[in-house]
Chains A and B, each alone.
Chain A
């Protein structure tokens, strides 16, 4: 069965520092991969997605993620953190050969804190 693991439930960085949020998936066939962000008291918003067009995916708000098949990873990065990036981030996976109705499988989330 598909699964996704987010390493670190809480990451703290200083404003202007590199943001690195880790995500690993388990699948024999590379799945579709997603990063979502959830700001306090809001729903989830798509940051970016990997669908095999390119291994380096650029998303909104300066975030990007690189798909590495050999490492089964899809880590999220941002060169310079901003206070407004403080939120919870979820990695999600969907099987490539998706059966009708199979939904996203989410990781447990990583809370990003940004200090000034």
Chain B
């Protein structure tokens, strides 16, 4: 039981390049989330999904797109990377909505955009 895994762990992009971050969970959770973590800012929600085939915008969605074609996977895409997207990205999942149910976090992806 691996929990929540993220691929890749590190990445360096040049401005304008694109990439996809992959999140996978093996806990059969319905809800999945993408956060970014910046120094002194805590974690901010980018996008989330309440089930297979559904996605919704969070607090800071601009410049990102997501897809949830399979229940266990949640992909985060950057179509044209910008230096402001340099951050650590965390994926999380929970069995139901976050009010009562614990969110389980992946180990993070450290992205640098030059």
Chain A positions near chain B (C-beta within 8 angstroms)? 9, 32, 41-46, 49, 51, 90, 94-96, 98, 100-104, 106-109
Residues of B with C-beta under 8 A to A51 = 99-100
Bound form: Cα–Cα A112–B109 in Å: 23
Contact at B98–A102, with CB atoms within 8 Å? yes
Bound form: Cα–Cα A70–B97 in Å: 27
Residues of B with C-beta under 8 A to A32 = 98-100
Contact at B31–A45, with CB atoms within 8 Å? no
Q: Is B75's beta carbon under 8 Å from chain A?
A: no
Bound form: Cα–Cα A96–B99 in Å: 7
- B34 CB → nearest A CB, Å: 10
Bound form: Cα–Cα A49–B100 in Å: 9
Bound form: Cα–Cα A94–B94 in Å: 13
Closest to B55 in A: A101
Bound form: Cα–Cα A32–B102 in Å: 11
Counting chain B CB atoms within 10 Å of each CB, the highest count among A44, A51, A100, A103 belongs to A103
- B45 CB → nearest A CB, Å: 5
Question: B31-52 CB contact bits vs A (8 Å, 1 = yes)?
Answer: 1010000001111110010100
